[in-house]
Amino acid sequence: MALPLRVREVEVFLRRVRTRMPFRYGKAEVTGQPYAHLRVRVDPEGTGVSAAALPPLWFDKRAGLTHEDTIRELLRSIAIAAEVYRAAPISTVYNLHHACEVEARRRGAAEGMNELTAGFGVALLDAALIDAACRLAKRTFHQGLREDLFGLGSFFGAIVPTAPRPKIAVRHTVGLSDPITREDLTAPVNDGLPESLVDVVDTYHPRWFKIKLSGDLTAALDRLRRIAEVLDRDGGDYQVTLDGNEQFHVMEEVADLAKKIEARQWLENLWNRTAWIEQPVDRAESLKDEVWKALKKIPKHVIIDESDGSDDAVDRALLLGYRGISAKNCKGVFRTLHSFRRTAEKGMTLSSEDLMNIPVVPLHQDLCVAAALGIPHSERNGHHYIRAFEYFSPKERDTAIREFPELYRAGRPTVRVEGGDIDLSGINAFGFGVRSEPDWEFLEKTTLP
């Protein structure tokens, strides 16, 4: 029942937010960022929406780039994709992706964009078209995969779980500057939400944690020690993943870190509970032929994230000895579906990772994909670092709470995390996870560069 569509119009709006506390990962510190929201009008007459963050120093980490440079390039990537998709003839969503991606990426590369940046606009167009197809066909995203609504082929529906996950475990992010104990709070926010790791454990009861690593081995080991003290005491039967965010130059440094962790008795429990290490090495080095030698020395699975700039990255990574890959809607839903197929075939890890997604569109669509593919836990950090509803119109805020009472707390609303889980029943029940469109008049309409 694949549904053919044609793109008529693409509009872009920004929602600018500030963080309630700084979020530091790698070389970046986020204190605020915009979220691009797309409204795509299609034939047959319908509308699809999508959204994603425009963060500093993740898509492109070249020295000298400012956050404004990043925003400009990502908006330009959307502009290129919009031009290419509007020129394409009517087709299924996947065939539009297949037909338009190469040209959009070629044009982006010609303007100096790297692979992740050049693919960003394609990812947002694809997500909006998936949303439009679900709305027109009155099917959920999971049903669309099972029934071949998007034109992937009936074989794909056969490997998708028979039902989406009703809940997903939160993998709480511990950023590089996050306070570990209450004594670390030098400038408390005092807004009623947890700030220190101790408070997070006491409030949300997460069973999974994602710990950001710095490339400074001494500092990384000391911070892991302090985190382990809290989790070993209060975290119960916890598990963790470690994220290097490309802070290490070569994989041998990561093997050295693993050796030093193993030598420290106070990290034994945390290390035993470590599921994998994510993208520790710079993307320029991480997929080189010789990396397999160092990977063999690391007694934990290592997966890629920022190295996932093209569809063949997952095959290259698995061939070299990586044990999985991350899923993010900002890299593209079809990229995630491709990685799902490859990792499922080889029994490897497909990890759900967050780029500080906030309600409603970015969070819901990202979780919708994770639920449909049966991923059991997902890094979630947007609800911790941003009080997103403070940047919504009253109409949007009230609508979200009314439509998704299982997901949002009323009053001064925030994401509802109970027993370490997020309830996905509302997200799974409608289209691509979003019922009402954003309040477009409240958002900042943007002229694309």
Q: Which two tokens stand for residue 20?
A: 């309630």
pLDDT at 250 over 90: yes
Total residue count of the chain as it appears in this document: 449
pLDDT digits (tens, 9 = 90+) for 199-208: 999 999 999 9
User: What's residue 1's pLDDT?
Assistant: 80
Is the omega angle on the peptide bond into residue 360 within 30 degrees of 0, that is, cis? yes
pLDDT digits (tens, 9 = 90+) for 306-334: 999 999 999 999 999 999 999 999 999 99
pLDDT digits (tens, 9 = 90+) for 74-91: 999 999 999 999 999 999
User: In which band, very low, low, confident or very high, does the pLDDT at 270 lie, cut at 50, 70 and 90?
Assistant: very high
Of 48, 32, 52, nearest to 40 (Cα)? 48
Q: Which two tokens stand for residue 164?
A: 């989406």
In this prediction the pTM is 0.97
Q: Which CATH architecture has domain 160-438?
A: Alpha-Beta Barrel (3.20)
Residue 127: its H or E element: helix 115-137
With residues binned 3-state (H G I as helix, E B as strand, rest as coil), the percentages for the chain, rounded to 5, are 40, 20, 35
User: In which band, very low, low, confident or very high, does the pLDDT at 336 lie, cut at 50, 70 and 90?
Assistant: very high
pLDDT digits (tens, 9 = 90+) for 90-136: 999 999 999 999 999 999 999 999 999 999 999 999 999 999 999 99
Residue type, 274: T
CATH of domain 6-157: 3.30.390.10
pLDDT at 449 over 90: no
Q: Domain-by-domain residue ranges, the chain?
A: 6-157, 160-438
Cα 255 to the center of its chain, rounded Å: 26
pLDDT digits (tens, 9 = 90+) for 378-421: 999 999 999 999 999 999 999 999 999 999 999 899 999 999 99
Segment 19-35 shows an average pLDDT of 95
d(CA 426, CA 434): 9
Question: Cβ(305)–Cβ(349) under 8 Å?
Answer: no
Residues 6+ apart with CB under 8 A from 402: none
d(CA 358, CA 366): 10
User: What's residue 317's pLDDT?
Assistant: 98
